Amino acid sequence: MPETREWFISNIEQLRERSTTTPVREGIRYTTVGRLVPIQTVLRQVKEVKQYKL
């Protein structure tokens, strides 16, 4: 969704960065880094985003 990507890029500095690790093999892990995106904020600020209950 291009609108969400544009919103994310323009707001990236306001989003908390977090990391997590995943074990791959004995003693070896890889780290994934991402941003925490509050869904309520996105729903309010990006009109094209819809939320559905499953």
Are the beta carbons of 14 and 8 closer than 8 angstroms?
A: no
Write out the two tokens for 34.
């991402």
Number of domains in the chain: 1
State the number of CA atoms in the 13 A half-sphere of 28 facing the CB: 3
Domain region containing 27: 2-45
For residue 51, tell me if it sits in a domain.
Answer: no
Instruction: Tell me, yes or no, whether 53 lies in a domain.
Output: no
- Name the pTM for this structure: 0.73
Domain assignment present for 14:
yes
User: Mean pLDDT across the stretch 23-33?
Assistant: 93
Share above pLDDT 70 across residues of the chain, in percent, rounded to a whole number: 100
Is 34 contained in some domain? yes
In tens, the pLDDT along 41-50 reads 999 999 999 9
What DSSP assignment string belongs to the chain? -HHHHHHHHHHGGGSPEEEEEEEEETTEEEEEEEE---HHHHHHH-TT------
Give the pLDDT mean for 24-40: 94
pLDDT, residue 12, reads 96
Distance CA 1, CA 51 (A): 14
Residue 50 covered by a domain:
no
Over residues 25-36, mean pLDDT: 94
pLDDT tops 90 at residue 1: no
